[in-house]
Amino acid sequence: MVKQAGRAIADKAVELGYIEGPVRTVVAQPKLELVRGGAGDDAADFTFIDLFAGIGGLRRGFESIGGKCVFTSEWDKYSQKTYAANFPNDDHEINGDITKVEVADIPPHDVLLAGFPCQPFSIAGVSKKNALGRAHGFEDKTQGTLFFDVARIIKHHQPAAFLLENVRNLVSHDKGKTFQTIKEVLQDLGYTIDYRVIDGRYWTPQHRERIFIVGFREDQAFRFADMKMPDAAPKLEVILHPGDGSEAPDQRFTVGNSGRVSDKYTLTDHLWNYLQRYKEKHQAAGNGFGFGLVGPGDVARTLSARYYKDGSEILVKQEGQSVPRRLTPRECARLMGFDSAQGNEFIIPVSDTQAYRQFGNSVVVPAVKAVAEHMKPHLFRALGKKPKGAFG
């Protein structure tokens, strides 16, 4: 670690308890009220924990192959609200700040899931922090070091496997030193790892590249190279409100019996003029900055957490109108795979602003399900594939 990433990162690992055990003061919290062996365990093939859970995208993937979530950690109160609304039958509470949780208070588990914060490593996040003169990557002490909290949990519980998810830029951040440190830490913990950058484009009409890192405590010959991508290439039309009466009106995102998208999602003339001038300015300078205008037959750019600000990365053309609109939060849920095409099953109990943040920070659910399916035979072999309910 010291050779690859410099003394500062190694010192931070020591400070956070990875190398020599915890030396920081852990703030006491009430004991977590966790029910082990509760309702639903008999039907589970394995158990998992959901760290930096967001609104449960990783969880959905592993529930789809028979897993049961036994611990959840998510610090954002609005994401907690959405998570709780969509997983109302949990027998454990949603814990907040993972840095304040004793590893012994986390229940034993077969698989660890963690979409640890990506802002310190994302292209947009790095650019913003550079502009503000702030540190990024592992030097970002509020977010970048949270990977080491994942490491201390793995070190203590030694789960059979884990899945970590982050932005593609993690691979190249700091000339590769950040990712090299992550790989070394995981390998030093005794895990065989493999990783792959996967584009959600195969499952939903959105270019969204994310890195998935899989580790097994015992080598199970898991290889991402063996994972085949589907032939499907959906277009935006499958997730957009049709507005022709074929979709049940919800009275929040659409209006009238026809289900027409509410006018509040149409950009103001002022904002639309500003975005056009902004794009022209950067095109003249030879830059690629600017809005992304799409129609039903197109594929969208990556939905980001800042979508609520101006919606510029995904603006939808409107027939008969010169001004485009944003996606509705319901369309975002479909774009991220939380809802099926034209579905409305996912509960959105928060404001549009918070919903945009949550979907922009999440994962493409069908992509996670595909990764989980690819892991499944290797995981079950690692667990001995005993009768249902025998794990945990």
Per-residue DSSP letter, 142: T
Q: Residue 9: which residues within 8 A CB-CB, separation 6 or more? A: 1, 2, 138, 181
Cross-strand bridge partners of residue 196: 212
Instruction: Identify the CA nearest to 259 among candidates 268, 270, 248, 269.
Output: 248
Q: How far is CA 27 from the centre of its chain?
A: 27
Instruction: Identify the CA nearest to 186 among candidates 210, 157, 152.
Output: 152
Long-range CB pairs of 317-320 (<8 Å, 24+ gap) are 317/293, 318/266
User: Are 336 and 57 contacting, i.e. CB atoms less than 8 angstroms apart?
Assistant: yes
CA distance 301 to 312: 10
Q: Quick check: helix, strand or coil at residue 26?
A: coil
Can 118 be counted among the known catalytic residues?
yes
The two three-digit tokens of residue 179, written as one number: 């990712």
Per-residue DSSP letter, 260: E
Say if strands 111-114 and 315-316 run parallel, antiparallel, or are unpaired.
unpaired
Give DSSP secondary structure letters for 276-315.
HHHHHHHHHTT---S--EE-TTS-B----TTHHHH-TTSE
Per-residue DSSP letter, 325: B
**Annotated catalytic residue within 118, 164, 267, 327:** 118
The amino acid at 32: L
Q: Answer positive or negative: Cα dihedral of 317, 320, 321, 322.
A: positive
> What positions carry a catalytic annotation?
118
